[in-house]
């Protein structure tokens, strides 16, 4: 039997010894047989943990006891904040018990993966609970895919799911119902109330670690730096799986790693949302103004922002960037310092008209001397 994936901390301290692999086998066996008094939450958690016990006698006894638990204990325990893996295990053991499945689906601790496991097999009534949880569907698309495979799903449910998919940017392009939803939404009057509701759903689907600003790396150890980089790579990987709607909200509200990634997104709506993120710093703006990988619209937004262009460093970065519209560069050129103007006059990386203008300003400042 493999080791238990559920942390021992999921059991209360008082009952922990009953599931601890280090406890004597007789203690674990008594617990597995349901012979040790415990509350519903601990009883269910201990029995699930003991299903993974290395002693076959213990694991088999625990599986039998869990399957035979009185309804009042199971119903009582399933209403409590059980560990997600405990709820998932119970869902798989009692996959044909609608009362228990309803309690699991209504438990906020239930994992998205548990929803996906149940979505293709539950009754129409249980499916209603799953479909109504749009935050989970957006956060974990396999739930939607499982719903579509459920033989009990109604056409109206599919239509509602596809409408939601269209509005949030989920992709079911090979599905006729999805194409129907696109036509239905595009031909209907714009529903501002529904758009606001969808935006809230999108926001609630976003991971907290993408919204919270990261701690600065000053004075950190090598291990801490590696852990920070690992978290950053994880965020970048997850960004690739996000829908356009999620990316737009993340661009508006996300942390530095998120906004500096999305500011280079191929979708201009996403990129321009990122440059307007209220958390963006001057140093980030300078980095973006220097970049040739961002969309022209992003550069224009920086050029038109009076607060940002008060900064000499921002103006210099914009003038040095060949993507900056020449009209803006010419305007900013007037306040560029002579040493920087000299470099610009000799630069091959900016428009020739701008380099020529830099030379003329230098000549004027030096009294016409060459």
Token pair recorded at residue 313: 């460093």
For the whole model, what pTM was predicted? 0.79
Distance CA 38, CA 357 (A): 83
Burial class, 14, CB count within 10 angstroms (exposed 0-12 / middle 13-18 / buried 19+)? exposed
Alpha-helical runs (H) found in 276-349:
282-290, 296-303, 312-320, 326-333, 338-346
Q: Judge contact between 362 and 368, C-beta under 8 A.
A: no
Token pair recorded at residue 168: 């949030």
The long-range contacts involving 79-84, CB below 8 angstroms and separated by at least 24 positions, are 79/103, 79/107, 80/40, 80/41, 81/41, 81/107, 81/108, 81/109, 82/10, 82/41, 82/44, 82/45, 82/107, 82/109, 83/6, 83/7, 83/10, 83/45, 83/109, 84/109, 84/110, 84/111, 84/114
pLDDT of amino acid 240: 87
Q: At what angle do helices 326-333 and 312-320 cross, to 10 degrees?
A: 130
Positions in the chain short of pLDDT 50: 1
C-alpha separations of 13 from 8, 51, 89, 195, 265 in Å: 9, 20, 22, 47, 48
Residues in CB range of 302: below 8 A, 6 or more apart: 275, 285, 288, 289, 308, 309, 314, 318
pLDDT of amino acid 232: 83
pLDDT of amino acid 93: 95
What ranges do the domains of the chain cover? Answer: 1-106, 111-205, 241-280, 289-370
The helix/strand/coil state of 266 is coil
pLDDT of amino acid 213: 79
Question: CB count, 10 Å around CB of 369?
Answer: 7
């Amino acid at each position: 039997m493999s080791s238990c994936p559920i942390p021992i901390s999921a059991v209360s301290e008082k009952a922990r010894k009953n599931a601890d692999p280090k406890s004597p086998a007789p203690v674990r066996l008594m617990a597995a047989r349901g012979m040790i008094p415990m509350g519903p939450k601990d009883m269910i958690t201990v029995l699930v943990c003991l299903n993974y016990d290395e002693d076959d006698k213990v694991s088999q006894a625990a599986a039998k006891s869990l399957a035979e638990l009185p309804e009042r204990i199971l119903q009582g325990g399933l209403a409590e904040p059980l560990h997600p893996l405990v709820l998932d295990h119970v869902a798989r053991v009692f996959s044909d018990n609608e009362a228990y499945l309803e309690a699991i689906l209504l438990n906020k601790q239930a994992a998205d993966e548990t929803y996906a496991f149940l979505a293709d097999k539950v009754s129409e009534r249980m499916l209603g609970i799953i479909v109504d949880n749009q935050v989970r569907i957006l956060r974990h698309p396999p739930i939607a895919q499982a719903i579509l495979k459920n033989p009990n799903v109604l056409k109206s449910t599919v239509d509602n799911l596809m409408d939601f998919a269209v509005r949030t940017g989920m992709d079911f392009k090979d599905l006729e119902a999805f194409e129907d939803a696109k036509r239905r939404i595009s031909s209907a009057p714009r529903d501002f109330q529904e758009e606001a509701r969808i935006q809230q759903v999108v926001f609630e689907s976003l991971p907290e670690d993408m919204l919270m600003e990261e701690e600065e790396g000053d004075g950190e150890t090598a291990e801490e730096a590696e852990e920070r980089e690992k978290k950053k790579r994880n965020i970048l990987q997850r960004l690739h799986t996000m829908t356009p709607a999620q990316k737009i909200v993340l661009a508006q509200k996300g942390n530095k790693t998120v906004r500096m990634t999305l500011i280079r997104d191929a979708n201009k709506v996403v990129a321009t949302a990122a440059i307007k993120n209220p958390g963006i710093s001057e140093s980030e703006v300078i980095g973006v103004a220097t970049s040739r990988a961002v969309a022209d619209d992003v550069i224009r937004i920086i050029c038109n922002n009076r607060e940002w262009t008060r900064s000499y460093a921002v103006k210099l970065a914009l003038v040095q960037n060949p993507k900056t519209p020449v009209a803006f560069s010419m305007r900013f050129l007037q306040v560029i310092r002579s040493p920087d103007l000299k470099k610009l006059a000799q630069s091959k990386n900016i428009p020739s008209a701008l380099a020529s203008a830099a030379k003329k300003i230098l000549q004027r400042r030096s009294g016409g001397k060459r």
